[in-house]
Chains A and B, each alone.
Chain A
Amino acid sequence: NAGVTQTPKFQVLKTGQSMTLQCAQDMNHEYMSWYRQDPGMGLRLIHYSVGAGITDQGEVPNGYNVSRSTTEDFPLRLLSAAPSQTSVYFCASRIDRLSNYGYTFGSGTRLTVV
């Protein structure tokens, strides 16, 4: 099993550009989330999904869109990149609400917006 796979690992965008951060998991997990990590801010929840076709907002959803058309994939779209979106983005998945083991995280995408 590959676990949670995030692509790309690094990305530089210009202000105003759009892009999609990819996240895929092969563990048949129902729950998936996107977090961003900024210095001194910890991990902040952007969007999450409890199953295919169901998404909801987290703590910092503005400027981001998600969709969950399949169980495996949970892409994060930046609509119009801003320097404030420079961050490390982590995707995570979890089998279901009853799991005692929390999320499995991907290795992250480091995004720089110039």
Chain B
Amino acid sequence: DQQVKQNSPSLSVQEGRISILNCDYTNSMFDYFLWYKKYPAEGPTFLISISSIKDKNEDGRFTVFLNKSAKHLSLHIVPSQPGDSAVYFCAATTFHRDDKIIFGKGTRLHILP
């Protein structure tokens, strides 16, 4: 039973345009969400997070939106740059209960020149 779903295995976006990566979750107990970025042969690196008490969090070119009623979050990258080409993982946890961070399957983002 997949609790965190990233339904798009891959996404191609023109350099300079907006990249939108989507994530859905099924466990209504999740109250903290994270995005990680992963390059080949490296460990994932933390990108941005959002608490369930917020609906938006920004950090430079990266913005995460959370729609709790739809159990949906999205990561917006504006403008997209060549270095953004990587696999992006959405993750979720029950922040105040335990430290299980559950990841989605990832979306491979290709930034096209």
B101 touches A33 (CB 8 A): yes
A42 touches B106 (CB 8 A): yes
Contact indicator per residue, chain B 41-69, by CB within 8 Å of chain A (1) or not (0): 11111100100000000000000000000
Looking at the assembled complex, report how far the CB atom of B29 sits from the nearest CB atom of chain A, in whole angstroms. Answer: 15
Looking at the assembled complex, report how far the CB atom of A42 sits from the nearest CB atom of chain B, in whole angstroms. Answer: 4
A42 touches B89 (CB 8 A): yes
Looking at the assembled complex, report how far the CB atom of B25 sits from the nearest CB atom of chain A, in whole angstroms. Answer: 13
Chain A binder among B14-22, B78-86, B91-99:
B91-99
Q: At the interface, yes or no: B103 with Cβ under 8 Å from chain A? A: yes
Interface size class on chain B is 20 to 34
B contact patch SS: loop
Q: Which single residue of chain B is at the shortest CB-CB distance from A58?
A: B100
B36 touches A102 (CB 8 A): yes
Looking at the assembled complex, report how far the CB atom of B56 sits from the nearest CB atom of chain A, in whole angstroms. Answer: 15
**Which one of A41, A43, A44 has the greatest number of beta carbons of chain B within 10 Å?**
A43
**Chain A positions near chain B (C-beta within 8 angstroms):** 4, 31, 33, 35, 40-45, 48, 50, 56, 58-59, 90, 92, 94, 97, 100-108
**Chain B positions near chain A (C-beta within 8 angstroms):** 6, 9, 34, 36, 41-46, 49, 89, 91, 95-96, 98-106
